[in-house]
Amino acid sequence: MVEILLVPSVRRGNGSGHLVRCFALAEALGPKAAVYLADEPGPGSWSADELRLAYPRETASIRIIGAIRSAARFKLVVLDRRRTSAGELERWIGIGAVAAIDEGGQARCSAHYVVDILPRIAGAARGRGVGAANLASLGFLSLPNARRDPPKRAGRVLVSFGGEDPAGLAGAFLSAALGGALVPPEAVSVVSGALSDAAAAYEGVTALGPVQNLKEKLRSYDLVVTQFGLTAFEAAWAGCAVLLLNPSDEHERLGRAAGFVSLGVGRPSPRRLRAALGDIGRVAEASAAAAPRERLDLAARLAALRPHHSGECPACGRPLGEAVYRSERKTYLRCPDCGLVRMTHFFPRENPYAERAYFFDEYKAQYGRTYVDDIPSIRKASAKRLAVIESMLPAGHEGQGVLDVGCAYGAFVAEAQSRGWNAVGSDLAPDAVEYVKNTWKIPAFVGDFAAPAADGLYPRDLACLSMWYVIEHFDELGRALRRVASLLRPGGVFAFSTPSGEGISARRDAGLFYERSPDDHYTVWSPSTAPGILKRFGFEVQRIVVTGHHPERFPGVPADADSLRYGAAMTVSRLLGLGDTFECYAVYRGRGGERDAGRPAERA
């Protein structure tokens, strides 16, 4: 079964590097991978038949897919297309999680995973902003094994501008170098690529034709003349001196940023050419500095990715989002329609919340006491929350049902029971459920609230359903919210708390906020987006209480609660709603009731 679909650029003029890389990845990945070469690619692109003729050895040993069935699904779709539009990306997202290599188009902002192999001018820093990459390293290049010592002179010169050379750069270089008698013809070899018309015809110059495994032959040359791209870094790794002649201003900027010596764009500068040929040692030194520092296995890294929660927005169904943070293990995408931030992770993890240690050892490490030790203070907070909920139920609450999802060791249900509620708890942790039943004598059961088969497990016609720091853990948020709606009676209250994406921590350093966000927080909510999200499921938000005010997280404010700056920061935090958590209280109006939900939520 094919798990990974490799999609190279086949557009004429985009060069052959994308194709060659995908062929090599497919061979390394084996039967689990296939390369997509469209049987009918459309105008301006190479067809599968043409590419099979141009690359007979490469295509003979790998699986090729020429058409994609409507029901096809893949674990990972790897785009190596140079530029991918948002519309094209949406098509690929429909069949699998998308990883993009050296992506320079709109897909860079919305792909689930981005790998930068070649360095970039902007957005190269991993993690921060829409232009960031999850992984960035020259070491992912398919580097040659054969290497040499740096050259002292340009005794042998290789000219290679890829499989197409659409800008005619080989001819431009040869015209300048040979016409100016700067290099003897017999010292020059020219690679004619598999997709170009012919090798440049200059008397005395060696025309090589398509060269199998060119990278392993680079060490035979002192100087390699090419454009910014794969060959430049392969030659630098092999120990050659590298001179660039670029087809565009973008290539020129990237090449100079990487540290290569360049002859310019389109046609070589005679002055630069004479200076470079006169000091090959300097060129070799710059090339060595630009070379990769280590060799990494891109195929193994792609094979290790296990995308989870990579589908459409769980709140509104929008397939695309805008990346707000990327790291090697996860990506956060903000939905442009509803504003919900969702996380896709790529490496398997265990759920810690079903284990007793989370509520004791881990809780104590974070808060200085175990969860059970903290129950008195949690009950005080629960009393305030219940007061808000009770004020929203004009018919009264005594004897009414409340379900606390993620009840832990029962602080909230114990407080609710003491106030006359008919309380029930549920949790993933068996030890916590037993504690609630035995200590508080309150009904409780073990259950995964978002599990598809859990429909008949939970009590219905509830006056209230609560989730305190639970909602962010649902990777199937839409299913969880629909289940909440099915369990509440009309007019019932849905109350929850969750970390805030608009608090001081997120505003001060968004990258650090997302990096520190636990890997099982699949969604990041904000006070400003919660009403619109919940409205889609039939809820009308009545009140939002911003909590978790930490003045010491403001720049320049000490942790001393008695200081004037601390007090001023606390006031600002409360006035502007900059707490790092918030509570949301919403009334269920029914699936048809959204039209009536127009009143803004009360803020506290």
Q: Are 475 and 510 part of one and the same domain?
A: yes
Task: Based on the fold, state whether residues 585 and 502 are members of the same structural domain.
Answer: yes
Instruction: Phi first, then psi: give them for residue 433, nearest 5 degrees.
Output: -65, -45
Residue 207 β-bridge partners: 190
Using the predicted structure, report yes or no on whether residue 127 has a pLDDT greater than 90: no
CATH number at 235 reads 3.40.50.2000
Task: Please give the Cα distance from 182 to 212 (Å, whole number).
Answer: 29
Question: Do 216 and 239 share a domain, yes or no?
Answer: yes
Answer whether 526's CB lies under 8 Å from 333's CB: no
367 assigned to some structural domain: no
Which CATH number belongs to the domain containing residue 455 in this structure?
3.40.50.150
Q: What is the pLDDT of residues 160-176, one digit of tens each?
A: 987 678 888 988 999 99
How many CB atoms neighbour CB 176 within 10 A?
A: 19
Helix, coil or strand: residue 524: strand
* Of residues 285, 250, 245, the one with CA closest to residue 262: 245
Residue 474 covered by a domain? yes
Residue labelled with tokens 């005679």? 270
Question: Is the distance from CB of 97 to CB of 75 less than 8 angstroms?
Answer: yes
**Which helix or strand (DSSP H or E) is residue 584 part of?**
strand 581-588
- Is 583 domain-assigned? yes
Q: Is pLDDT of 124 > 50?
A: no
Domain count across the chain: 3
Same domain, 107 and 241: no
264 lies in the same domain as 340: no
Average pLDDT over all residues of the chain: 90
15 vs 145, residue with greater confidence: 145
Residue 199 in domain: yes
Alpha-carbon distance of 287 to 155, in angstroms, equals 17
Across residues 24-44, what is the average pLDDT? 94
Asked if residue 76 and residue 18 are part of one domain, the reply reads yes
- Average pLDDT of the residues in 91-115: 95
Q: Tell me, what's the pLDDT at 456?
A: 83
Rounded Cα distance, 575 and 572, in Å: 5
Q: Does one domain contain both 248 and 321?
A: no
User: Per the domain annotation, does 233 fall within a domain?
Assistant: yes
Helical segments of 361-492, H only: 363-367, 375-391, 411-418, 430-439, 477-487
Give the tens place of pLDDT for each residue, 501-524.
999 999 999 999 999 999 889 999
Does residue 372 lie in a domain region? Answer: no
Do 40 and 175 share a structural domain?
Answer: no
- The beta strand positions in 9-112, using DSSP E, are 33-36, 64-65, 76-80, 97-101
Residues 266 and 127 in one domain: no
Q: Are residues 229 and 266 in the same domain?
A: yes
Burial of 284 (0-12, 13-18, 19+ CB in 10 A): buried
Q: Using an 8 Å Cβ cutoff, are 111 and 103 in contact?
A: yes
Place of tokens 């010169």: 157
C-beta separation of 281 from 194 below 8 A: no
Tell me what pLDDT residue 357 has. 66
pLDDT in tens, 383-417: 999 999 999 998 889 999 999 999 999 999 999 99
Which one, of 255, 256, 187, lies nearest residue 222 by Cα? 187
Kindly state whether residues 227 and 333 are assigned to the same domain. no
pLDDT at 126 over 50: no
**Which residue type occupies 33?**
A
**Residue at 151 is within a domain:** no
Question: Each residue of 544-586: pLDDT tens digit?
Answer: 999 999 999 999 999 888 899 999 999 999 999 999 999 999 9
In the predicted structure, residue 222 carries a pLDDT above the cut 70? yes
Write out the residue range of the structural domain in which residue 564 sits. 387-603
- Is the same domain home to 273 and 307? no
**Over residues 266-278, mean pLDDT:** 94
Q: Is the pLDDT of residue 346 over 60?
A: yes
Q: In this structure, which amino acid lies at residue 91?
A: R
* 38 lies in some domain: yes
